[in-house]
Amino acid sequence: MRIKMTPIELYIHIPFCVKKCLYCDFLSGVFDEKMQRRYVAALCTEIKYAASTHPGCIVSTIYVGGGTPSWLSEDLMDAIITTVKSCFKLDPLAEISVECNPGTLSSEKLNVYRSIGINRLSIGLQSANDDELKELGRIHDYNRFLHTFDLVRKAGFDNVNVDIMTGLPHQTIEKLDRTLNAVTMLRPEHISAYSLIIEKGTPFYEKYKFDAVKQQAGMETEDLPTDVLSYRLYKHTMDFLESKGYKRYEISNYARNGKICRHNVGYWDRVPYLGLGLGAASLFGNMRTSNVRDIYKYIETSEALEKGITLDCELSSPYFESEEIISKKDAMAEFMFLGLRKIDGIARADFYQMFDIDIEAIYGPVITALRNQGFMDAKEGRLFLTDIGIDVSNQVLSKFLLD
């Protein structure tokens, strides 16, 4: 008798950077090699623990993010992926992605990546203009990115993403064009184009917080693009990339030849995922959890488990810092928020399969109103945002909150 296995995704967090970027609010920092090795050993222990508590699962994608995962030495990355493969059942066609920064890869490291099954890389360029890279606090210049991209191609990787950013301080259409031209000439399979967000707790927030408020209010700004220019930069990016054969399949993501990021699509489709590592979040069934954010506590937890010490914990895992039961209403809202980020939207049949109720029974009046306003449309059993709806997606998606 064939046992049906539950498809899941794995996110693995590597909280190490060469240097913290000035705009970044991710859980990451600068640590020495000794701490990196202790952390990876702890991470491998958590991988084993998670596999033992989630039997009957098959891993469809693995995404190693950070931080800068490529800053790890190749033997540590080998240890992580090898541990996953020894503990979980992997889909033979699993997508295994690693985030990389220019200047942190070598031919030797890339050869190891290939040998252990990593088949997709995401390179953080952000800009092809050196003055913008310096302003962002990046560790590389454009030439170093070119060298890294060349190494990646020579190593045989044929599924590569490049990250770029819009809405940067003093960015113009002309400067953005240089980045867009530079990237598309290289023909990566995937491009992620994100707008800069000024996050609290970052050096950028202290420097640009007043400008950010002016931008949101539609006022004239000093350093950041105005809201009108930000919109022009966003639209110009979309038009340019689509003219070069990159199909937008999500608000900020473009792919050619069908090379979408399967891991991200899984997030938007609410595929169950396990987050492994410091501060990593998981969604499994109707439970959302987050791991501890203190690196020393995280390592101490793994070291205690390795010694066979029974840990007292109020939550269902000694690694968790929080856990919550997601109500059916919240799950429905999430289904809409995430699914409508995709250009092809959501399927009515998927909503019914997940919640055992027709979507119109819950959102009928909202859907009708949005369609009448031109923000939403329907075709072949799917609901999706129109171009105008995507432009004001934050306001549109808020309509799907349930009391």
What domains can be seen in the chain, in order of their start residue? 6-268 (3.20.20.70), 329-400 (1.10.10.920)
More confident residue, 125 or 307: 125
- pLDDT tens, position by position, 215-232: 989 999 999 999 999 999
- pLDDT tens, position by position, 243-300: 999 999 999 999 999 999 999 999 999 999 999 999 999 999 899 999 999 999 999 9
Predicted pLDDT at 1: 43
Please state whether 258 falls in left (phi above 0), alpha (psi between -120 and 50) or beta: left
Q: What average pLDDT does the segment 298-321 reach?
A: 92
Is it true that the peptide bond before 29 is cis, omega within 30 degrees of 0? Answer: no
Predicted pLDDT at 311: 82
Q: Which residues contact 311 (CB under 8 A, 6 or more apart)?
A: 301, 304, 305, 318
- pLDDT tens, position by position, 72-127: 999 999 999 999 999 999 999 999 999 999 999 999 999 999 999 999 999 999 99
Predicted pLDDT at 3: 59
How is residue 224 annotated by DSSP? Answer: S
SS3 of 221, please? Answer: coil
DSSP string for residues in 319-365: TEEEEEEPPHHHHHHHHHHHHTTBTT-EEHHHHHHHHSS-HHHHHHH
- pLDDT tens, position by position, 146-198: 999 999 999 999 999 999 999 999 999 999 999 999 999 999 999 999 999 99
Helices (H), 27-106: 33-53, 74-87
Contact (CB, 8 A) for 99 and 64: yes
Q: What average pLDDT does the segment 126-146 reach?
A: 97
Contact (CB, 8 A) for 136 and 50: no
How is residue 29 annotated by DSSP? Answer: B
Is the pLDDT at 2 greater than 60? The verdict is no
What's the order of all strands across the beta sheet hosting 160-166? 247-250, 253-255, 190-195, 160-166, 120-126, 89-100, 57-66, 6-14, 273-276, 281-284, 287-291, 320-325
In the beta sheet, which residues pair with residue 14?
A: 66
- pLDDT tens, position by position, 334-388: 999 999 999 999 999 999 999 999 999 999 999 999 999 999 999 999 999 999 9
